[in-house]
Structure 1
């Protein structure tokens, strides 16, 4: 295996992917405060909002308000999820630096989640992709169920590679290989990452691992070993997994940072500030953070 990357970019997804499954409505000012704290902590890329129909994702109904009020830091990429042209136009008006389009490596998941085939989902985004290029906005593609699917089970590596090619041809600057249900394991992750790196530059591939089965940190380490240097994580481990009752979803940012710090890998992020942000949002939600490192570091301070 090659030497581990010396520097890693963490895409903080808590404000969007983390909060979107929360049942209780979270006030815009709490979301704004969270994004501002994460900006101050030093993230280079924050997934701040989602311009989807409030009918489908009520929690994201305040996205315009959030994007208008956050304190932006030059050089930081504030990303938003855009499922269609209506979403793209809202993102453009809100001053998003990056729009995120999404497909799935599983045909069954695509049909259940976005009511169309994988090929149709990529075709639907052609207009959004062209508009992003025209307005010089970064375009990121995300591929759900790259390591397993709640409906069809195993997902062939060839299916993931096919979707990577489709998103590459739309002009994506970065492509997320996502383990939506957290079933991926280290060797499998390496195999998938090495395979898709033949279709898209390794420097633009990111790992989005869920910790449902406790494999996320191992999968991040396995990805580092093959040269992946972009990872997604969620402050305080925000974001449950809708397909596994009571299970955790996104890997906690604090845990990822603690591991990377131990490996001597540079992120430019202040772990203490992230712990504070995690404790802040967890207190608002009235529950303990899911992050083991975050809770341990917070407890150590009190001790």
Structure 2
């Protein structure tokens, strides 16, 4: 049995895609048992050896909000950093930015919602207040020479509000770009998007004057649609996608939100389309299985399930 996909391209797709790895932050933040700092650092270094070049390392959120990430400074300062690899961190406010800068952060991400209900549930603020908070962080980060990414959650549906009009996340994305975010990641936080919906949101984003070279997509696989949605994004012209090694994670504040799209599942499809990623699928598979061992349960990734446990792990 073949262990790697046989490449067959489709017209109109990009030659190369950037994979933005979120496993060490978004993947681990919902874990109830605290993962050792040394294990988190080893996870990030293994992901780097597998060829990932954008690895979100941690979040400088209050430990009372997310106890799993209380060791953010220790993780970031403990990393052996290498040229050409980015280690962005999520920061919720100016205090988080101060802590991140003190720990040596070179790139940050800010987080807002496309809906009022989720902003109140997750950020304890209104949507406008969340954007104003993000604006202060983006301004100070830019002044310090840090790159900034923006996250917009609930772009395709909200568990409290239901349907979300495509113009709403598009407007929030445009505000983040105007503030100074280099890229904006549009999140399907509860996994309800379908390919036509993806095209509709991206069309709305373009109508707001935001080029898709500034847009990334972040899909959850709640209803098994994540890879179909990636293909829709590729067809529209998006070239950056978020994923989590082993399919780790979900949103602790969103009802029914299952795990992120697994990085190896994403890479398998991209390589099958003849799209370069720079990722070694075998090393990535080994990393995901290793991390699953640390957590004491199988990885939910389809590729891990199909290929099984690598020999000599």
TM-score (norm 1): 0.96
Pairing of 1:32-43 with structure 2 (within 5 A) = 32-43=41-52
CA contact (8 A) 1:282 1:289 kept: yes
Q: 2:183 & 2:250 partners in 1: Cα distance? A: 25
CA contact (8 A) 1:275 1:298 kept: no
CA contact (8 A) 1:2 1:226 kept: no
Matched, 1:226 2:230: no
Counterpart for residue 280 of structure 2: 270
Counterpart for residue 15 of structure 1: 24
Matched, 1:261 2:271: yes
Deviations, residues 142-165 of structure 1 (Å, cap 9, x unaligned): 000000001100011111121012
CA contact (8 A) 1:39 1:72 kept: no
CA contact (8 A) 2:190 2:258 kept: no
Q: 1:272 & 1:25 partners in 2: Cα distance? A: 28
Counterpart for residue 250 of structure 2: 240
Pairing of 1:1-303 with structure 2 (within 5 A) = 3-198=12-207, 199-242=209-252, 243-245=254-256, 248-299=258-309
Q: 1:75 & 1:201 partners in 2: Cα distance? A: 25
Q: 2:311 & 2:271 partners in 1: Cα distance? A: 19
CA contact (8 A) 1:234 1:253 kept: yes
CA contact (8 A) 1:39 1:73 kept: no
- Tell me how large the CA RMSD over aligned residues is: 1.5
The answer for unaligned runs of 5 or more in structure 1 is: none
Partner SS, residue 289 of structure 2? helix
CA contact (8 A) 1:164 1:196 kept: yes
Q: 2:310 & 2:49 partners in 1: Cα distance? A: 22
CA contact (8 A) 1:237 1:248 kept: no
The answer for unaligned runs of 5 or more in structure 2 is: 1-9
Partner SS, residue 76 of structure 1? coil
The range that moved more, 145-154 or 111-120, is: 111-120
Q: 2:70 & 2:99 partners in 1: Cα distance? A: 12
Q: 1:16 & 1:289 partners in 2: Cα distance? A: 16
Partner SS, residue 77 of structure 1? coil
CA contact (8 A) 2:60 2:100 kept: yes
TM-score (norm 2): 0.93
Deviations, residues 125-183 of structure 1 (Å, cap 9, x unaligned): 22211111111111110000000001100011111121012111210000000000000
